[in-house]
C-alpha cells in the first residue's frame, strides 16, 4: 500500500490549540481530568498542503515519495465534539490562512536569526 500524496490528515493549528489549553487551565471548567481532541474535524490532502506551501513560498517542492511508515493510515479525523462542548472550542483559522501566516512568521524568524535555514 502506498499512501503518497493522497494521504489525508487533520489540520492542527498551534495558536488555537495553545489558546484553548490556556482557556481550559484558567477557567473553572468543572472537571479535573479529561482527554480532549484539539485540531480540526476537516481533513487536508497532503498534496494540497504542499501546493499551499509552494504558493506561499513561491517555490516548487522537491518531492521524494517513500513507502509508508509502519502504522501509517490513509486518513485521520479528529472528533472535536468534546472540546466544543467543554471548552467552547471552534477552529477559526482555515488551512489557507494558517499556511500563509506560518510562512510569514517563518520568514520573519529567518531574518532575525541567521542560523536558521533560509527559504
**What would be the CATH architecture of the domain defined by 4-112?**
Alpha-Beta Complex (3.90)
What pLDDT was estimated at residue 52? 94
> Model-level pTM?
0.67
Q: Residue 2 pLDDT more than 60?
A: no
Q: What is the pLDDT of residues 80-106, one digit of tens each?
A: 898 888 888 888 888 898 899 889 888
Give the domain ranges of the chain: 4-112
Tell me the three state secondary structure of residue 110.
Answer: helix
Q: What is the pLDDT of residues 25-83, one digit of tens each?
A: 666 566 677 787 877 778 888 889 999 999 999 999 999 888 888 888 888 878 889 88
Strands (E), 37-115: 43-45
The larger pLDDT score, comparing residue 23 to residue 57, is at 57
A 10 A CB-CB count for 19 gives 15
Amino acid at each position: 500500500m502506498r499512501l503518497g500524496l493522497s494521504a489525508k490528515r487533520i489540520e492542527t493549528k498551534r495558536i488555537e490549540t495553545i489558546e484553548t489549553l490556556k482557556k481550559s487551565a484558567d477557567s473553572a471548567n468543572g472537571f479535573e481530568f479529561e482527554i480532549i481532541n484539539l485540531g480540526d474535524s476537516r481533513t487536508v490532502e497532503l498534496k494540497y498542503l504542499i501546493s499551499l506551501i509552494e504558493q506561499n513560498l513561491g517555490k516548487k517542492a522537491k518531492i521524494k515519495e517513500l513507502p509508508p511508515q509502519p502504522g501509517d493510515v490513509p486518513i485521520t479525523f479528529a472528533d472535536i465534539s468534546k472540546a466544543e462542548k467543554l471548552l467552547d472550542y471552534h477552529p477559526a483559522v482555515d488551512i489557507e490562512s494558517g499556511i500563509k501566516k506560518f510562512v510569514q512568521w517563518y520568514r520573519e524568524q529567518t531574518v532575525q536569526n541567521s542560523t536558521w535555514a533560509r527559504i
